[in-house]
Structure formats: C-alpha cells, structure tokens
Structure 1
C-alpha cells in the first residue's frame, strides 16, 4: 500500500510490476482490490497501480459530498505524490467516468485511455434516478443489495460457471462504506462530462458489454463519437463488468497500452 494525498485525506494504492505506469480505476462501491487478476496479467510488462477512490476500500473520506471532478483531482494529487507526470488510464464504470474527467481536463497527463462500460453522462433524469439509488445504498442492508448488483455486473452464464469470482466481487461490495456508496451515487447522477470529450488527446479504446444495461452500448458509442479518434468495441454476451467477466480482454488492453492502435473486431 502506498499512501498518497487527496483533499479528503490519504488514498490507498496497490502496485504491481515494473515498467510504464498504468492506473486502474474501479467501479462504484468496490475498490482497487477488484483489479487483482487484470493487474497481475499486465504486471509482466507494466507498473500497475490500482487506487481506492475516495471513501472506498482503504481510502479515507471526510464525509462531505464530492463530485466526479473531485475524484479526478484526487487522482492528480495521488499521481503527483507518486512522481508520475504521465500515465495510461483504464477505468470501469465509475472509474471510467473519473478517467474521462481527468483525461479531458489534463490531457497532457494521459498517454492512452481504456474506458470500459462507462459514460460521461447518464441522462436528464440521472439526478433523480441516482438519488434514489443513493437512498437505497444506506437504507437497504448491503447483503440485500447483492442480487440487484450481480444481475447488472455479470451474465447468468458467468455467475453459474464462475461462482468464486462472482463471490470475490460481492465480498468487496459488502465491505464498502454505505455512506460513501451513497455519496458517490449522487456524484454519478450530477455528472455531465460531455463537454470534456473533445479535449481528450489520449489514444482511446472504448469497451462495452453487449448486454450491459447499466451503461449500455449507446452510451459507449457516445463516448467514442465524442473523443477524437476513439475506437469502440462491443463485447458479445457480456454485461457491465466486461473486463472481469472476460479475463482474455487483458490481452486486448495490453495491445492498446503498448501500441495505441485499435482493432475493429468484437470479441
């Protein structure tokens, strides 16, 4: 663990490997621990960092409301503390939204970008929808939220064939602070980073599960359309946590991080 500093207090960071730095940003109500399999797959060639975002995992939080831009500022402060001027970024869901904000506001700091199952904007009704989710995050016992989350995260086929991996993610979710989960939900609902998309200069790969109904393919298409030169790949049969459900995507990620080139085939 590497302590670094944000405006809300220290952030926890996991690190693997050596080489060019790659930062992995996790989804809502999880932590950097989620990335262990992908980080281990990439660590033979890259120095991989997985941050616990504010209030998640082992990172601190002052209990105050925050925005997606605040989480991006936390990332910048953490990179400064680690002496990393430029990095490659990979974000899934909320982590991807943070990555979009950071890459759009600080384009010179991001060499390449992978955005998985994410969006810059959830729609006009997002504040109300996410406020309702925030209320449930604190009023419903976490164990009773699991069925809703699992159905969003993974296809039934994956859950049946890989119960241990699904359970690993569930345990991370259950350990997440409910108040931080709620605060992050409010931040997601208030987010609108669409105006930042044209400012992204990093070579960008957008991935999305074919059956992701949390951030569906049309949201991914809007990202790819808005970011200059971005490539979109729809992954057949997958839901919201595409990079967890299909570990072989690590090699697609590796190719993008190494070359900045993107393919056109779907998996």
Structure 2
C-alpha cells in the first residue's frame, strides 16, 4: 500500500515503466499473463483501483477525475517521472482523464477495450440497474451475471478465475465506480488533441464496447489493433498477441 491507499505489484526493470489499470470489478490479476511476458524487458506496475482487489475504499462518492488524481499521487509517491499507461475498460476512462490533466507524466497511453465516448442514455440506465442489483443481491450475484458477458466464448476457462477476482470488489467500490462511469464526460478531444502516442486495442467480438466505439478518432499518432476472436478481456483471451502489440507500441515510440 502507498499513501494513496492503492495495493499494487511492481516488478521487472528496464528503460521504460509500464503502468496497467484494470477494468470494473477486476484487479491487477487481470494483467498476470501480460506482466509475465513484459517484466524481462520493462518495469511493470499494476494497481488495484480503489475498492477493488486489495485496495481500500476511499469514500462512497468519487469521479473518474478523482481516480486519475489518485494514480498521479501514487506515481509521485513512487518517484516515477513518466510511464506508458494501459487502461482496460474503466481503467481506460481513468487513463483518458489522466492524459487530459497530467500529460507530462506520460510517455504514451493505451485504451484496451475502452472508449472515449460517455455513456448514452441506455448505458446510464444500465449503470443504475447494476447499482440496484448490487444493493439488493450483493456482489457475488452481480459478478456471476457480469463476467460471462465479458468473454467471446461462454465456456472460456478464464471465466471462473475472473469471477473469483470480482468477488473481492467491495460493494462501495463497485457502486462508486458505477456512478463515476455513468457521470463521465466525452473525451474524444483528448484522443484528437494529444501530442502523445496512443494505442487503441479492440476485441473483434467485444459485446461490451464494440470496435467502432474504441476506434473513434483517427490520426498519425494513433495506432489501432483488433484482437481477432477476443471479447472484452483480451489480456486473458489473447495475451500473446496483446504482449506483442504492447512491445511494438513502446519500442516504436
């Protein structure tokens, strides 16, 4: 734990530091295969977001911008100047907010199965239904309904372990994150205006965030990758390909 109350792992060493932010109801464990494939060449850090994994809850009400500020404080505590930041889903929303407010702390950034668009009205209503389900039935029942939808194949062997990761999410952390995601703003201008290199990663069979929602802005600074056959969990469904693309992105820049 750091003063910013985040649990994390910090492994490997190299000329670049790569920071990984997991998605909703996940933890640093989402990135285990990716970390194993990168730690020989880079310093790799993966955090548990507030109220997720082993990280503490910090109040019931917080925004995506608050979550980005916590990451900035975390990097200051570790005395890290710049990182390449990779954000999965919710972690991507935080990455965009971070890139908008703290661009000098980044060497580049990536959205992995994420989007710069805000929730539409259907999405906002869905967030409130999720809050109601957690409040009435608890985290385990919510996770059991959520996780299978994240994978391209309903019999994916990673589903049960991913559920076990999700069960560790606190109710306050999950509900606070749902409200934060529901209230987030459109950040396509960040993708368009940034001077940093960007990697956008989409899953060909992602039922949560379709390819076109990830590839929302074109530009010479933007690199697009589609993970064939993958759903919303490319770090578990196609880790080898994702590792290759991360290395290509970092080495290119």
TM-score by length of 2: 0.91
Aligned to 1:57: 53
SS in 1 for 2:85: strand
* Count of matched residue positions in the alignment of Structure 1 and Structure 2: 249
For residues 98 and 220 of structure 2, the distance between their equivalents in structure 1, rounded to whole angstroms, comes to: 16
Matched, 1:29 2:36: no
Partner of 1:254: 247
- The structure 2 residue matched to 1:153, chosen from 128, 143, 150, is 150
The 3-state SS of whatever aligns with 2:3 is: strand
Tell me, yes or no, if the aligned pair for 2:30 and 2:235 is still in contact at 8 Å.
Answer: no
More off after superposition, 47-56 vs 73-82:
47-56
Q: Name the CA distance, whole Å, in 1 between partners of 2:195 and 2:9.
A: 27
3-state SS of 1:62 partner: coil
CA shift for structure 1 position 214 = 1.1
2:175 to 178, 182, 185: 182
Q: Residue 199 of structure 2: which of 202, 205, 221 is its match? A: 205
Displacement of 1:234: 2.1
Q: Supply the RMSD in Å over aligned alpha carbons.
A: 1.8
* 1:220-239 map, 5 Å: 220-222=214-216, 224-225=217-218, 229-239=221-231
Structure 1 distance, partners of 2:71, 2:177, is 15
Please give the residue correspondences for 1:92-111 in structure 2 after superposition, counting only pairs within 5 Å. Answer: 92-111=88-107
Gaps of 5+ in 2: none
Please tell me whether the aligned partners of residues 101 and 193 of structure 1 are also in contact (alpha carbons under 8 angstroms): no
Ranges in structure 1 where 5+ consecutive residues have no aligned partner: 261-267
Q: 1:198 touches 1:228 (CA, 8 Å); kept in 2? A: no
Q: 1:133: which partner in 2?
A: 130
Which 4+ stretches in 1 moved above 6 angstroms? Answer: none
Q: TM-score, normalised by structure 1?
A: 0.87
